[in-house]
Each structure stands twice: as structure tokens, then as C-alpha cells.
Amino acid sequence: MAVKPKGFRKAAKKVLKAVGGDVTIRKVTGSAYNTTTGTVGETTADTTVKGFVEGVIARQVDDLVKATDKRLTIAASDLDYTPTVSDRVVISSKVYQIIRVETTEQGNTAISYELILRL
């Protein structure tokens, strides 16, 4: 009997809705240099989802991930895109940079995303 990814996606969303808090995924879709002001502006789009935030575990610490970073788990079905390191996450008015994105898949379908975050 084949396991259907759609069921896993629903389960992940249901669990995170029950135990997660509100977080905002800020998708950065582009940037442009303003020759008048000499600054780079960017275009963003915010999506509020439920997520579970915790500290990184010791085995995740390496040259890229620091012990002070946070780990956020969100349901893939809450987004219509895959987050990237160019995007940001807003939690309690604090804006975090995404350091790494790890995708949990079943049958080539994304179930959840684990984002490593840094202030």
C-alpha cells in the first residue's frame, strides 16, 4: 500500500496549528538600486503561518549554524512556494534571517520546512 503525501501534509498542518504560534514568512521577491538615493529597495510579501520555534540542537551546530540560532518548523502546505535564504521570518516583531532551509518530503512532495534562523 502506497503512502499518500497529501495525508502527511494535512497531518503536519494540523499538528503545527495545534502547538505552533503565529510567525510571518517575508518573501523577498526582488530588489532595485535607486540612483537618486543610492539605496537598494526590495519588494516583499508577508504570509502569516503557524510554526514551532526552538533552539538548534548541538549536532546542527557547524561552520554555518551557531548555537544561538533558532529552528522554526512550518507546514509546507501553508505556503505556495519554498522559502529561501533570501527570505526573512518575523517573530514577535523581531526580523530573522534564514540561514538554512531543510525540506522534509514524502513521495517528492514537501511535507514541512525546517528553517534555521538568526537575528
Give tens-digit pLDDT for 89-114: 999 999 999 999 999 998 889 999 99
Supply the pTM of this predicted model.
0.82
Cα(57)–Cα(17) distance, integer angstroms: 23
pLDDT value of residue 78 = 94
User: 59 by DSSP, 3-state: which?
Assistant: helix
| SS3 state at 73 | strand
| The pLDDT of residue 13 is above 50 | yes
Predicted confidence band of residue 3 (pLDDT cuts 50, 70, 90): low
Q: What is the CB neighbour count within 10 angstroms for residue 93?
A: 6
* Encoded amino acid at 64, one letter: L
Q: 5-118 sits in which CATH class? A: mainly beta
Single-letter amino acid code for the residue at 101: V
Q: 10 Å Cβ neighbour count for 23? A: 22
Compute φ and ψ for 7, nearest 5 degrees. Answer: -65, -40
